[in-house]
Structure 1
Amino acid sequence: MQTDWGSLFELTMSPWELIVRGTITYWFIFALLRLAGRRDFGSVGMANILLLVMIADAAQNGMAGDYKTITEGMILIATLVFWSVLVDRLCYFVPAARVVLEANRLCLVKDGQIQRRGMRREYITEDELMAELRKNGIDDIKKVRRAYMEEAGDISVLPYRK
């Protein structure tokens, strides 16, 4: 069996179609994950998870032959990386873009009082909040000046000073 090495790099689909497909898929999944919240992602950013999953899928398609050539998979992966880098740069240089593209920290405890609205927004129970406080060495909510769910989904606690 003889392999046609030149066909590995031929395009069977327009590069622009690949770029458009990658762009639409990226923004669809980004918006979907942004609306879903961040509580299950831990300390890894949602955009990083999105990029990793999409690159893995695009690379798999390129390697397994779902695309006719490796070049198509490479164009799609480059498109995904481009959007990820652009979003990071945009958020850095245009602070107003952060409101839409990044999650803001969310106040869960303010001056020893649970902020139920914030907890409802991320579906955090009082038991889950108290478990996080105990991990930070706090056994009484009244000892907490502020507790926030950070952008990446972890909870930071600012206790009152003694």
Structure 2
Amino acid sequence: MHRWFSIDWQAIFVPSMSVVELIVRGSLVYLALFSVLRFLPSRQMGTLGIPDLLVVVLFAEAAQNAMASTYTSITEGAILVGTVIFWSYLLNWLGYKIPKFQEFLNPPPLLLVKNGRLILRHLERELITEEELMSQLRQQGVEFLADVKKAYLEADGSISIIASDTKSSSLPQQKADKTVV
């Protein structure tokens, strides 16, 4: 019964490993995960699907083990959370202050459609099928590919559309000319 109410304050607040080691571990894991996520294709199309959710959960589990091994104190957890927040803030601050760094953090929009024509090499690079692209166009009120002046894949995975001045809604849908621009 005595054990139920006894608290080991030292185990709660005193780190079991070096604070510097915690910061180094947190920094390395954060930067590694950032790099992996930055260079993966942006195929999520502005949504979080089941595979994306699994990646986040598995990354969190792997990162927890890599960052802290088997930390037990609240202080160690707070140091790791602080390290991740620090890197997130620092990278965003650098992107704000240095435009070239912002281009690294957030890739520029990728042109997917130009004047009603698909740019296949860009779709292939981002692993986007024509059906997925057409679904996104319909969700934004565009029925025909010929009605799209330009469509871009944005850094966040969403697709932005610039419609052409002429609408071809009265014409039957034609298969897009799949030229490479």
TM-score by length of 1: 0.83
Q: Distance in 2 between matches of 1:34 and 1:143?
A: 32
Q: Distance in 2 between matches of 1:31 and 1:79?
A: 17
Are 2:62 and 1:40 equivalent residues in the alignment? no
Gap runs ≥5 in structure 1: none
Match of 1:29 in 2: 33
Q: Distance in 1 between matches of 2:123 and 2:45?
A: 16
Query: How many residues of Structure 1 are paired with residues of Structure 2 in the alignment?
Result: 152
Deviations 1:46-101 (A, max 9, x none): 9xx97xx759x75xx99xxx412110110010000000001111111100002322
Are 2:76 and 1:72 equivalent residues in the alignment? yes
Q: Distance in 1 between matches of 2:29 and 2:165?
A: 48
Query: How do 1:75-94 and structure 2 match up within 5 A?
Result: 75-94=79-98
Moved more, 2-11 or 12-21: 2-11
Using the TM superposition, give the Cα deviation of residue 41 of structure 1 relative to its aligned residue in structure 2, in angstroms.
6.5
Are 2:13 and 1:9 equivalent residues in the alignment? yes
Q: Distance in 1 between matches of 2:84 and 2:9?
A: 26
Query: How do 1:140-151 and structure 2 match up within 5 A?
Result: 140-151=144-155
Gap runs ≥5 in structure 2: 167-181
Q: Which amino acid aligns with 2:30?
A: Y
TM-score by length of 2: 0.75
The answer to which structure has the higher helix fraction is: 1
Match of 2:129 in 1: 125
Q: Distance in 2 between matches of 1:113 and 1:41?
A: 19
Match of 2:120 in 1: 116
Moved more, 116-125 or 35-44: 35-44
The percent identity for this pair of structures is 38
Secondary structure in 2 aligned to 1:145?
Answer: strand
Q: CA RMSD in A?
A: 2.6
Are 2:24 and 1:20 equivalent residues in the alignment? yes
Match of 1:101 in 2: 105
Look at both structures and tell me which one has the larger radius of gyration over its CA atoms: 2
Moved more, 152-161 or 2-11: 2-11
